[in-house]
Structure 1
Amino acid sequence: MSSLQGGYSLTHIAAGIAVVALLMLGVGFYAIYQELASLRSQVEGLNTRYEEISESLEEVQGAFESSRGDIESIASSLESIQDRVSKIEERLGSAATQSDLDAVARELASLTQQLEDLQARIQALEESGAEAGERLDQLAMALQDLQARLASLEERVDEVYASLYFPVTVVDGTGTPVVLLERPERIVSMAPSATETLYYVGALDRVVGVDQYSDFPPELNEAKEAGEVEVIGGYWNPSIEAILSLEPDLVVGVASVPNHIQVKKVLSAYGIPVILLPDNSLEDVRESMMIVGKATGEVVGAYEAVLKFDMAVAAAGLLLEGVDPVETAVVVWPNPLFVVGGGTWEHEVIELAGGVNVYGDTQGWPQVSYESLLEADPDVIILMGGHSDGGVTVEGFIEALESQLGEAAREIDAVASRRIYVLLDEYNDSFARPSPRTVLSIYVLAVLIQPSAFDIQPGDLPSEVSPETLDVLGLLEGRVPEEVLEFLGEALG
């Protein structure tokens, strides 16, 4: 956090990252950026024209609504005139004096004038309707032209990618160079973190298959229910047959899963490119975005995602600057006891959130003894509870502690102060998956570990922590830039 001191603002940080990004991309990216900037300018012009057309349509609709009122008024007037004519006919039938005839004549003169006025209004309405019809025809033609021009622009963008990006070689998390001859159009993801990375760089619309645990963003679940995206098996054991049946031109997994490495070996023999993403640290999350961006032709989207990610991380550092770190243990599984150790992205999240990982001197996600937790004596314990039906509860964890440690369990500061929390649903997923969403978990853990930084007391926090029980984004309003809030909100779907 010391690197954020000395008056540097998020604007400076963002600008610095952008400059570094451009330098790294080099001349090739600059040419692409110029072409895309031109296309974006044209799209903005079309969007402006579309808005103008939409406003015109609203005006026409308003004119029709107004005309409807006039027509209803005319109909009402005609009914009134018809009624008055009937009365005149009755009076004519019983007219006996000159004064009665004079009164009838005056009434007829009045009706004649009203009918002339109504005729003029009807003629004006007919002319207005004809003009509105012509405007609608013109607008319809303009919209058709817009659609054709936008379709043409999309084709040009694809051509830019195809001509300037491909063929392309990427080096994945296993250190293996992978060659993609063309822009992939049928992508399969074998891991939730890979799926989420594809989404953030802008390639989700080309995904045709995912593992059973991929459930973000929400539109992915809709696509699965509609049969537009197939499930290719589990995270640990994807089905090679299911993957082959989808005829993919790119498969994405993670380098830490042995079966993903096996899939890579098998599919490579079929000539199918497979990239396995690094997934041990937050730096690996950044690198994964760039690997996926380059492999899918979404380099601009990847750089934008990395920039937003880094801004959100930097904002957390500024928010928690100067706090006293709190000793924290994160439990992956309560019985037997597995915890978050060093060398993991979760370890980095704990430290960025203002905590000190009491198991930071271990590696990975080791199984430890309950006695070690008593000896470590953390001030805060966070349980990874999965989803709401995962069965992990604070009460169950305390019972497990007491069954192993007896009364000594209550000597652990976190137990004594009831600062034990269960992460659930989106909050748990953002912490458990090394993807761009991970940045959300920094703020969630910060609220639990450093509640005073958000002007709340530990006793005000729920023991089960999910978006339904703790509004972290609400606590961040006015404390972080609006752009960061938007990025974090996206992580919630």
Structure 2
Amino acid sequence: MLKHLFCALLLALALPASAIEIKDDLGHTATFAAPPQRIVSLLPSLTETVCELGACARLVGVDRYSNFPAQVNALPKLGGMDDSNVELIASLKPDMVLLAVSSRVSERLRALGLKVVALEPRSYRDVQRVLGIVGQVLGVDDAQRIWRHIEAGVAAAAGSVPAAARGLKVYYEVASGLYAAGESSFMGETLTKLGTGNIIPARLGPFPKINPEFVVKANPGLIMIGARGSEGLAERPGWNRIDAVRHGRICVFNAEDGDILSRPGPRMAEAAQIMARCLREKAGS
């Protein structure tokens, strides 16, 4: 015991007084002598978080899907979650790489001596936590101001939902192949905050693959879906019997809205407004 305490004391004395130490979602600890100035982000929600915290100028590269704010489009694009260009990332000499827990390159980047922070917000609580971690690393005093803005925006969106939409059963298809937003996902949490029901229970997970017949039996009163996945929706076997299809209560989101809706980060209040607009437009139809 004394030996462990002595080692911990030596380590503490070796670190600068201003050192920042955080633990990521994979349980790895990263220590920074000072806030990083060259950042690579390989997840759009993390890119947006860095920028919202006022550190967009510190980004030196992003994944191919990071497209907001517009200024990140001028940065080197480093691939996606499964095909990130490790050599190009290393050549940018980042002092921090932000990526998803499910990224396949985290260990390879760590083996090259890069400081990797794996964070993957999947719920409202996660978003608040990740804001705090990234804000701490960046040296931002009040990162939670962004969370307060999100909460206020979501509450305002909820206040705009008409009474007729309260309790309406919703099916939100997030990707082709019938992947849906369940109650336990951040999208599902938003729907709950807006006062709607969700035909996908939490026990099925945040984004489960759904049998088409499950949706028919659940008979949602409203469907939310991206433009690409909406083609031929009414022709799916049995779906012409679904209330949402019979009454035309289908909200089709364009690519820009789809990006906002699918990213658990600073624009979640905007996502709530998009959903609320859908409910206002379709609830009485």
Q: Report the TM-score, using the length of structure 2 for normalisation.
A: 0.86
Determine the structure 2 residue equivalent to 1:209. Answer: 61
Taking structure 1 as reference, are residues 435 and 258 closer, same or farther at Cα in structure 2, changes over 3 Å only? same
Distance of aligned partners of 1:332 and 1:314 in 2 relative to their CA distance in 1, 3 Å threshold: closer
Count of residue pairs brought into register by the alignment: 268
Asked if 1:178 corresponds to 2:24, the answer is no
- SS of the equivalent of 1:427 reads helix
Q: Does the 8 Å contact 2:123/2:184 carry over to 1? A: yes
What percent identity do the matched residue pairs reach? 29
2:106 paired with 1:264: yes
Give the equivalent residue in structure 1 for 2:93: 247
For 2:276, the equivalent position in structure 1 comes to 446
Q: Return the alpha-carbon distance in structure 2 between the equivalents of residues 206 and 251 of structure 1.
A: 12
Structure 1 residue runs without a partner (length 5+): 1-162, 386-390, 460-493
Asked if 1:417 corresponds to 2:258, the answer is: no
Shift of 1:430: 1.2
1:196 lines up with 2:62 in the alignment:
no
Which of 429-438 and 202-211 deviates more?
429-438
Q: RMSD of the TM alignment (CA)?
A: 2.2
Higher relative contact order (CA 8 A, sep 6+): 2
- 1:368 maps onto 2:220 in alignment: no
From the two aligned structures, give the one with the greater helix fraction. Answer: 1
Is the Cα–Cα contact under 8 Å of residues 290 and 299 in structure 1 kept in the other structure?
Answer: no
Distance 2:183 2:96 in 1: 32
Give unmatched runs, 5+ long, in structure 2. 1-15
Q: Which residue of 1 aligns with 2:188?
A: 347
1:355 and 1:449 in contact (8 A); partners too: no
* Shift in CA distance, 318/175, structure 1 to aligned 2, threshold 3 Å: farther
Deviating more after overlay: 374-383 vs 338-347: 338-347
- Alignment correspondent of 1:304: 145
Give the CA deviation at 1:192. Answer: 0.7
Check 1:411–1:273 CA distance in 2 against 1; reply closer, same or farther (3 A cut): same
Contact preservation (8 Å) 1:250, 1:272? yes
Separation of aligned partners in 1, 2:283 and 2:173: 23
In structure 2, distance between residues paired with 1:370 and 1:267: 40
Q: Is 1:327–2:163 an aligned residue pair?
A: no
Any conservation in 1 of the 2:249–2:283 contact (CA below 8 Å)?
A: no
Return the offset for 1:319. 4.2
Cα offset, 1:296, TM superposition = 1.4
Larger radius of gyration: 1
| Mapped contact 2:216–2:241 kept (Cα < 8 A) | yes
C-alpha distance in 2 between matches for 1:324 and 1:343: 19
Match of 1:108 in 2: none
Tell me which amino acid in the other structure corresponds to 2:123.
S
- Supply the distance in 2 between the matched residues of 1:203 and 1:346 (Cα, whole angstroms): 26
Whether the aligned pair in 1 keeps the contact of 2:81 and 2:103 (CA below 8 Å) is no
| Aligned-partner SS, 1:252 | strand
Give the counterpart letter for 1:167 in structure 2: A
TM-score by length of 1: 0.51
CA deviation after TM superposition for structure 1 residue 317, in Å: 4.0
Question: Aligned partners of 1:458 and 1:427: how far apart in 2?
Answer: 22
Conserved in 2, the CA contact under 8 Å of 1:188 and 1:248? yes
Letter of the 2:150 counterpart:
F
